[in-house]
Structure 1
Amino acid sequence: MGKEELVVDMYVDDLIITNTRAEDIDSFKHEMVAHFKMSNLGTLSYYLSIEVRQGKQSISLGQRAYAEKLLERSDMAECKPCATLMEERLKLSKHSTTAKVDVTRYRSIVGGLCYLMHTRPDITFTVGYVSWFMEDPREHHWSTVKRLLRYVKGMLDQAIIFPKSGNKGGL
């Protein structure tokens, strides 16, 4: 029988331990407790603003709460949802003559959208596109960011779903 790998992810003082066999995880935890003061928080449900839902057939990763906070920070919490990411055939330019917008705010919101891409690959192209204008954002660029935020508002529960190994279902 081949050996199973135990994967340990560490961020500051948090550990995530994964393996296909619960006995291997328990054994590792007992070894760690013998050497370090630790507490067991149980099954992973939230990590670095990523919500983890573990079902019998799959594991999903989403960022609904993070997206809602981003919408609040951008004063878009009450906006109407939008079904598309951008206007069709949109062409933005670094030489736009529209009014300048707050550079710090623009960068902060676009940076937040970059973090949201971890569980939302559907927004990757548009976030990359609006990122090109971080140096000197204009009203036209900000309008595109706001449209993207309206799209996010309409898709708050979207998540990445990973079928559990051995699952032969149609996920």
Structure 2
Amino acid sequence: MTDRFQMSMMGEMSFFLGLQVRQIDTGTFISQPKYTAELLKKFGMYTCAEEATPMSESVKLDKDEDGQAVDITAYRGIIGSLLYLTASRPDILFDVGVCRRFQANPKQSQYTADKRILKYLKGTQDVGLWYPKDSNFNLISYFDPDYAGCKIDRKSTSGTCQFLGDRLVS
């Protein structure tokens, strides 16, 4: 009788819940290029011009009470799709969070900001998270509060970032 337990392998994981997982000798890379391409097609942005950043520094989004209303279902569809993408794209998390605030009554100015994020994704479809094998697993977190700093409703906002080893994860 053997005291070893053997388990059959189905092979290396390559996709998990829409995340593409590439495992190589030096580490693991997690990204969502297929989902990003489908997202761009779904919202008619697959052939759009690329942007270098997800949001312009000069754009200051506000309630825009007098702005032109847009289709709320389409706006929420973009936001929901972008939120799912943030699982492997912390670079868009802040910008998506800002745009998410306007889901109740979206205006054209906010919709334009959503489209800017999609244009940024057009040129960065292969961006993802890299976890090298030699990295440690110490969790380090930073918090930056901004008390009553939101210009829209004077609510407090804050920013956080978490590192697993020396890699940003959130």
Band of TM-score, shorter chain: 0.7 to 0.9
- Match in the other structure for 1:15: none
Question: Once superposed, which parts of structure 1, at least 4 consecutive aligned residues long, lie more than 3 Å away?
Answer: 26-30
Out of 69, 74, 93, the position equivalent to 1:124 is 93
2:59 aligned with 1:90, yes or no?
A: yes
TM-score of the two chains, using structure 2 as the length reference: 0.73
Map of 2:161 onto structure 1: none
Q: Percent identity?
A: 36
2:82 alignment counterpart: 113
Higher strand share: 2
Corresponding residue number in structure 2 for 1:59 = 28
Change (3 A) 1:166 1:146: closer
Q: SS at the partner of 1:162? A: strand
How many residue pairs are counted as aligned between the two chains? 134
Once the 2 structures are TM-superposed, how far is the Cα of residue 42 of structure 1 from its aligned partner? 1.4
Higher helix share: 1
The one-character-per-residue Cα deviations of 1:64-102 (angstroms, maximum 9, x if unpaired) are 000111111111011011101111132112243221111
The DSSP-based 3-state class of the residue aligned with 1:142 is: helix
Q: Deviations 1:113-162 (Å, cap 9, x if unpaired)?
A: 00110100000110000000000111100000000100011101101000
Rounded to whole Å, the distance in 2 between the matches of 1:27 and 1:83 is 52
Partner of 2:118: 149
Unaligned 5+ runs, structure 1: 1-25, 31-39
Range that drifts further, 136-145 or 81-90: 81-90
Per-residue deviation, 1:27: 3.8
Structure 1 CA distance, aligned partners of 2:102 and 2:6?
A: 48
Q: Is residue 99 from structure 1 mapped to residue 68 from structure 2 by the alignment? A: yes
Task: Return the offset for 1:28.
Answer: 7.1
User: 1:164, CA displacement in angstroms?
Assistant: 1.2
1:52·1:62 contact (CA, 8 Å) conserved in 2?
yes
- Counterpart amino acid of residue 119 in structure 1: S
Aligned to 1:37: none
CA RMSD of the aligned region, Å? Answer: 2.1
Mapped to 1, the partners of 2:28 and 2:58 lie a distance apart of: 36
Counterparts of residues 28-47 of structure 1 (less than 5 Å): 29=7, 40-47=9-16
CA drift of 1:166 comes to 7.0
- Gaps of at least 5 residues in structure 2 are 137-166
**What is the distance in 2 between the residues matched to 1:166 and 1:116?**
24
Counterpart amino acid of 1:62? S
Pairing partner for 2:42 from 62, 70, 73: 73
Query: Distance in 1 between the 2:135 and 2:48 partners?
Result: 42
